Structure formats: structure tokens, C-alpha cells
Amino acid sequence: MTLRPSQGLSYRRGRMAPVPTGSGYRRQLYRDDAVVLRVQKLGESDRIITLLTRRHGRLRAVARGVRRTTSRFGARLEPFGHIDLQLAGSPEGVGSSLHSVSQVEAVALYGKQFLSDYPRYTAASAIAETAERLTPVEREPSLRLFQLTLGALKALAAAEHAGGLVLDAYLLRAMATAGWAPAIAECAVCGTQGRHAAFSVPAGGAVCPDCRPPGAAHPAPATLVLMSALTDGDWPVADASEPPVRRECSGLVAAHLQWHMERALRSLPLVDRRESS
């Protein structure tokens, strides 16, 4: 539905405003800005849009009629775009849990810039997928993750740094929001400060000789320097890194993310039980 001024409704950015409907419960309209993470077809002409919003966390919303050629805002609801939108939804616990998009304005449609650049497109896809997986519960606001996701897509579009570096910097910082940042400047087990030579994903990152578990990796010292630079946003150091160092760093970051993601997924049923009780 589209809100008409004649309805005399007012809303403020980010605030809920009750709207009477004919179906017996009150719909609410609210504004937010968001990154489009994913778009799925729904029926003949609709889409389900997965959004990471600034104030309302991750949510899925239905966009009606956007696949028709006459749609005013279909093009604004493509993956990786930063949009300002108005959503309509029912209050918690009443009616459909799927909100609907009633208005959309484009802030910056980064997706267009990745279409002709496959490496950047895959990096953007990995960023969007990670953002979705790091927000397993809908409507749980995470301002820091929103800012990181938006910043990473903006940096990818600006093309000032290699796409792989932007992705790894994002993954490292996004893991930090989940409490999974790998230890780099201290031992992950005993906390002894310093640059340690071994790296163990199950132990939580760099490990000192006393704590090093069997099977720990021994990355090149430059690899941990790069990991540290990406975490801190030290781009001159990151940009100067050599391809083999970038590859090794990417491998460790991906392994670290994968390991924690799988553990987090196993703990998810607990979250679901808590929510439904």
C-alpha cells in the first residue's frame, strides 16, 4: 500500500506510527534506511527483500508489483543498494510477520557497479551473505554491523582497494561484532602480548609457543601483519601486501569465520526456544 497524504498520518524517521486498517489490527508504518542483502521472487510480480536496516536489524519485507515494468521502485530494490524506505507491518505478535515495502528512495545503488566486475560482485555477495548469517534473529538491531556492511559495499564500489582486501577487512570486523575476532597481537589462550608465530582457529587466533595446540598453522609473519592492518583499517600497509600474503590471510580469515559460524548455528535452537517461550 502507498501512504496518501490525505490520510492525515504523520510519522517520524525511525518511529512507529499506528495506522488503522480494515483487518481488525493496527498496522504500523515506519521509516528506516537499509542495505538490500537479498532479493527473491514471489509469485508473478512480487519480491521478498532481505534488508539489513539501521534501526530495526535484519528483516524480510514483501515488495508488491515490483517486477512489473511499470513499477516505480523495482530498480531501487536490487541487491547491495543503500535505500531509504517506508515499511508497513503489524505490531509484534499480531498478523503477518512479513512487513511490506510501501515507499523506497535510492541513496546509492552500488549493485550496478558490480555487475560488470565479477570479483567485486562475488565479494559483495560474500559480504551480504555474512551480514545475513551474523543476524540469525530478525529485528534485533545491530548498528555496528549495519555501518560495517554499508561501509564495505561503499568501499567496494569506490574500488580504491582490492576487493579481496575489502572483504577480509569486513569479515574481521564483522566477526568482532559477534565476539569472534581472532587474537592477533596476543596469545588467544593465555593473553601474553606480542606477535606469535602460530595460528590456531579452534584456539581463537595467534597462539604462543606454550599454548600452541597440535595442528596449529604457521603463517608468514607478514600474513599476521596484514590481518592486523585490515582489522585496524591501516590501508597503506594492507594495499602494499603481496598476493601470497593476501591469499594466506584470506584462508585464515575464512577458516576462522567458518569455524565460529558452525558453532553459532549449533547454538541457534536455544535462541529459538527462548523466543517462543
- The single residue among 87, 152, 206, 211 that binds Zn ion, judged by CB under 5 A, is 211
Question: Are 192 and 208 spatial neighbours (Cβ–Cβ below 8 Å)?
Answer: yes
Cα dihedral value 265, 214, 256, 195, nearest 10:
140
The DSSP annotation for 233-250 comes to T-HHHHHT--HHHHHHHH
Binding mask 20-39 for Zn ion (x = CB under 5 A): --------------------
Per-residue three-class SS string for 77-128? HCCCEEEEEEEEECCCCCCCCCEEEEEEEEEEECHHHHCCCHHHHHHHHHHH
Does position 206 interact with Zn ion (CB under 5 A)? The reply is no
Binding mask 226-255 for Zn ion (x = CB under 5 A): ------------------------------
- The single residue among 98, 143, 159, 190 that binds Zn ion, judged by CB under 5 A, is 190
Q: Which is nearer to Zn ion, 13 or 218 (CB)?
A: 218
Per-residue CA distances from 9 to 18, 76, 110 (Å): 9, 25, 32
Does position 184 interact with Zn ion (CB under 5 A)? The reply is no
Tell me the one-letter amino acid at 198. Answer: A
Least distance from Zn ion to the Cβ atom of residue 208, Å: 3
Which residue(s) pair with 85 in the sheet? 32, 104
Does position 198 interact with Zn ion (CB under 5 A)? The reply is no
Does position 189 interact with Zn ion (CB under 5 A)? The reply is yes
Which part of the chain contacts Zn ion (CB under 5 A), choosing from 26-34, 93-101, 183-191, 229-237? 183-191
Does position 203 interact with Zn ion (CB under 5 A)? The reply is no
Q: Which is nearer to Zn ion, 187 or 245 (CB)?
A: 187
